[in-house]
Chain A
């Protein structure tokens, strides 16, 4: 510890002295240095821009067209669903990574109306996406989050949702019921045509009786 300071205040003094020494340059030197500094800034800006393009592209990688995420998935033989009933089915999400774990299980409600007539509902409440539960006794879907309730045909019965349940496109190929899935249904994709007025009337409509 031979170089301990003799006085506490020497440190700051040295600092300011060196600052003063580098001051006071001639105008020519200053403008040349400033030009070089500006060139340095411009160079960094250029390189930064060149790097930013791939970085932004990387960040935006998940933003794709809805259709590119979707594919047709089989839910099993169309005959295996009883007519007039609503069944909970689950399937593997077609768009997965090995580390998705249980999150790649997706559920849907399949309602069979006729021999080849189906409605396949997303389990997500149209209000804020919570999983609705089917009660076959009262023929209602109920949401545990904010109390949205839907009739068996998916139309809004009560609560905060503005519309009925989301449905998947379906087709029957070789006796298999297939749906076009792969994306979490939400108001931005499945539900572009939201009509607030119609479902609101439904709740009061005595014609349902």
Chain B
């Protein structure tokens, strides 16, 4: 239909005459980039942007129903989950979009670091990127608060206890975070303002700066070993590379961005459909103590680190480590703004990145199973394997009951069930003599509370006689050599050895 095409062209011209964006857009779209940058390694930045757009759209859609009030937020989420058609799916897409965004932002940062893309003249692009990362994490934390369930409540509590450690200003900072003396409606309202206005607004401004600099300074060329960055010559070399061996950004490199973004969106959709929305868990009633709060995925590693710090290190570490981490990230492009970009010749960078990645993975994995936490219902819920009680004497059975009733099981597993805070006790008799067990039970020590006050002597005897039976059939229990020698001496009438 040539008539329609003609009028479309006319409308376009009318708009373009007034907007005048064709020129800048063409410049941005068709600018030459080095041929090697049209790579699958260069797709994470655009994917993070796509996810940000997804979060904005789904966030607005959720705001149509969500009530940012301390009294109503939790209820409105349950209505979204169970009554609004596909409300659960929107919540799931927003939650999974958040997980993916945090992950993609971290991957993008790791790739940029590994490819030396932060070096001259792209130092400020990296700096802005660090703040984008912090904003993304800020969105993740405030978003978790908006869920306003028990995890949100006690997650905020952890925030309070971290802030309260700041010298002098701690109390004021806590009041500012909470909007009052306790976690309450005012806290939710301010987290809503942060999550919906302040942080997204900042994110968009920073993203605009970030993308602007990528366009102005060009996409980082593929690092080649031996091609060093020098401030005097770099710009000239880059321009030469982009023009002599370059291709237009669209379509040369952009099609891969499009494909990857679509793949990421599809992954978010599939995860949302299969795994569903996250929470809300129990209602935010702080008088309910039957809860095991846990932070969202991006903060699990912090949760794990906090459980392994020795008491004397808590406050210094909590206050100093985040500052050092952020300062370290910000310092990267200024410490190494010139020189080698290729990972083949940057062993320290590769090692540092691997170490961070491995530590992060280990801590996150640990936080999923929380081996440091007592299993609160193990004492009343976990069964004792029958084999440990078969042919047991009444005293041993009595000891087994005490073992359960006194919550020993909350920290010590038997038969693979129970807490992991203390060692598993399936073979404890091979490691400790009855005397050592008695001493340990009474006085505690290390990470074990002392039970001397809470157990009668008869109960301790019963408990120890149960523990004494816990050894494999073919492995004898531990014994005290000196006592055995004494016994041997007594039985042979003191004749001793020949």
Contacts and interface: CB of A to CB of B under 8 A. Distances in A.
Interface of A: 1, 3-5, 8, 11-12, 15, 59-60, 62-64, 66, 69-70, 88, 90, 93, 95-107, 123-124, 127-133, 135, 137-140, 142-147, 149, 151-152, 157-162, 182-184, 186-189, 196, 199-200, 203-206, 208-209
Nearest to B173: A188
A148 to B, nearest CB: 9
Nearest to B18: A11
A138 B459 CA distance: 12
A146 B164 CA distance: 18
B356 to A, nearest CB: 23
Considering residues A12, A106, A208, which has the most beta carbons from chain B within 10 angstroms of its beta carbon?
A208
A99 B185 contact: yes
B97 to A, nearest CB: 27
B314 A162 contact: yes
Given A97-B185, A99-B72, A161-B311, 7 more contacts: A62-B179, A102-B74, A158-B448, A188-B166, A204-B445, A209-B450, A209-B453
Interface stretch (B43-51, B102-110, B237-245, B282-290): B282-290
Contact of A129 (B71, B160, B172, B453): B160
B68 to A, nearest CB: 10
A183 B161 CA distance: 13
A124 B446 CA distance: 23
Given A1-B10, A131-B291, A206 B442 contact: yes
A93 B290 CA distance: 20
Interface string B131-171: 00000000000000000000001100110111111100011
Please give me the 5 A-B residue pairs with the lowest Cβ-Cβ distance, nearest first.
Answer: A209-B452, A101-B71, A157-B449, A188-B170, A129-B157
A137 B456 CA distance: 12
Contacts of B376: 133, 142, 144
Interface stretch (B86-94, B113-121, B402-410): B402-410
A142 to B, nearest CB: 5
Interface residues of B, number: 89
Given A102-B284, A140-B407, A162-B311, A62 B71 contact: no
B180 interface: yes
A209 B411 CA distance: 20
Contact of A131 (B163, B286, B406): B286
Contact of A105 (B185, B186, B287, B309): B287
B13 A93 contact: no
A76 to B, nearest CB: 15
Contact of B181 (A129, A183, A199): A183
B446 to A, nearest CB: 8
B407 A184 contact: no
Contacts of B444: 157-158, 203-204, 208
B178 interface: yes
A8 B287 CA distance: 70
B284 A103 contact: yes
Contact of B286 (A106, A135, A183): A106
Scoring A90, A152, A159 by chain B CB atoms within 10 A of each residue's CB, the highest score goes to A159
B435 interface: no
B182 A186 contact: no
Contacts of A159: 372, 447
B454 interface: yes
Interface of B: 7, 10-11, 13-14, 16-17, 20, 22-23, 69-74, 153-154, 157-158, 160-166, 170-176, 178-187, 283-293, 303, 306-307, 309-312, 314-315, 372-374, 376, 379, 405-408, 410-411, 421, 442-454
Contacts of A123: 286, 289
17 contacts: A1-B11, A93-B181, A97-B184, A101-B69, A102-B284, A105-B285, A132-B289, A145-B293, A151-B453, A152-B454, A159-B372, A183-B181, A184-B183, A186-B174, A196-B311, A200-B311, A206-B452
Among B292, B310, B314, B452, chain A packs the most CB atoms within 10 A around the CB of B314
B164 A186 contact: yes
Contacts of A147: 307, 372-374, 411, 421, 447
Contacts of A70: 181
B443 A209 contact: yes
Contacts of A140: 407, 449, 454
B450 to A, nearest CB: 4
A143 to B, nearest CB: 8
Nearest to B311: A162
B367 to A, nearest CB: 10
Contacts of A206: 442-443, 450, 452
Contact of B184 (A59, A96, A124, A142): A96
A136 B123 CA distance: 59
Given A101-B71, A128-B157, A138-B407, A188 B179 contact: no
B16 A5 contact: yes
B154 A129 contact: yes
Contacts of A69: 180-181
Contacts of B181: 64, 66, 69-70, 93, 95, 182-184
A129 B173 CA distance: 16
A96 B181 CA distance: 9
B184 A12 contact: no
B431 to A, nearest CB: 20
Contacts of B285: 102-103, 105
A115 to B, nearest CB: 22
A104 B184 CA distance: 7
Nearest to B443: A206
Contacts of A105: 285-287
Contacts of A98: 71
Contacts of B175: 62-64
A189 B164 contact: yes
Given A5-B16, A161-B311, A208-B452, A135 B185 contact: no
Nearest to A144: B292
Given A88-B289, A102-B284, A138 B448 contact: no
A132 B291 CA distance: 9
